[in-house]
Structure 1
């Protein structure tokens, strides 16, 4: 059975590790938003005089660039779903989680075929998330760590309001055995 799984969570929650493991185990196509659109986002931000590191706080990114990133993510997923290939999408989706119809509308705009749509919310504690971001030391995380008191309340404690999807949650503070997760999906 072909499925579409969105693995959602804040930066540092472990969503990418979980998403890759699920895709590998299920034989699904794996799409990371940052890998798919990252170089284009960097070039577009730079061409408009902005640093890629200020994504979460930049109106140009939030209003113009980010919607295009997610449109591309849903479009490439649609291409694979129409070929009968299950997909795992790895992205934070944080700016859209409060919009109940976002996922259904994005899938419809991308002309997804009828497939089971599941969202796996991967989360971890504030301490674990901060430790992971510090340890991975990516340039894009510098602004998050520098402004932690603003980042965590906004992006760390996510509530998903989407309709039309099956929602599952996964506490990723400790090592997760993917074989325990798969039956839930």
Structure 2
């Protein structure tokens, strides 16, 4: 079976991590969260330059120097798993690369993903629900977003994924109902391993 590489994208607070973990658990995928993988060294690099370890939004040093290192690390770990034949879910915004229409093709060439099936799983959520979720989780890295809400929302609306030659599956996660089996049916089933018994989570599919 060909391994699947799922680019799980969506705003912070959209619930993409919950969806990704449920999907990975049901189908035994490797689940890689950029924040979990990189936050420790990212925080240290920011502090070394005199910034808060959480200063990402609007930080040019983070955007131009640290962020590329995060994504390189994430993709290198993903590649190791893909070369072993394991499907992978990448939980990361990828917003900084949305404008690069050939981004996926570049990765395919770089990592020689001849036998890999890439797909984008985009998680959407209503603005009011998103704001409430960010407030409820109370993370320091969300402070800028909440303090500059209009600018944050405008940036979300402006950042449209322009990647070419890749299937994009969109799900709406604004409600409290979500059918994992229905989501699975939208993915490349010919490459999916057998799932565990049917499971329903608290999210809805568009």
Contact 1:74 1:107 in 2 (8 A): no
Unaligned runs of 5+ in 2: 188-206
Conserved in 1, the CA contact under 8 Å of 2:43 and 2:54?
Answer: no
- Between the aligned partners of 1:35 and 1:72, the Cα distance in structure 2 is 12
Correspondences of 1:133-172 after superposition (within 5 Å)? 133-155=134-156, 158-172=159-173
Larger helix proportion, structure 1 or 2? 1
1:21 positional shift: 0.9
Task: Count residues in correspondence.
Answer: 185
For 1:118, the equivalent position in structure 2 comes to 119
CA-atom RMSD in angstroms = 1.4
Distance in 2 (CA, whole Å) between partners of 1:112 and 1:68 is: 21
Q: Which runs of 4+ in 1 moved over 4 A?
A: none
- Larger RCO (CA within 8 A; separation ≥ 6): 1
Instruction: Structure 1: state its 5+ residue gaps.
Output: none
What's 2:182 paired with? 180
Post-superposition Cα deviations, 1:13-34, rounded to whole Å, max 9, x if no partner, equal 1111111111111110000000
**TM-score of the superposed pair, with normalisation by structure 1:** 0.94
Q: Which has the higher mean CA deviation after the structures are superposed, 173-182 or 125-134?
A: 173-182
TM normalised by structure 2 equals 0.85
Deviations 1:126-168 (A, max 9, x none): 1111111000111111111111111111035642110121111
Contact 1:9 1:158 in 2 (8 A): no
**What is the Cα deviation at residue 54 of structure 1?**
2.3
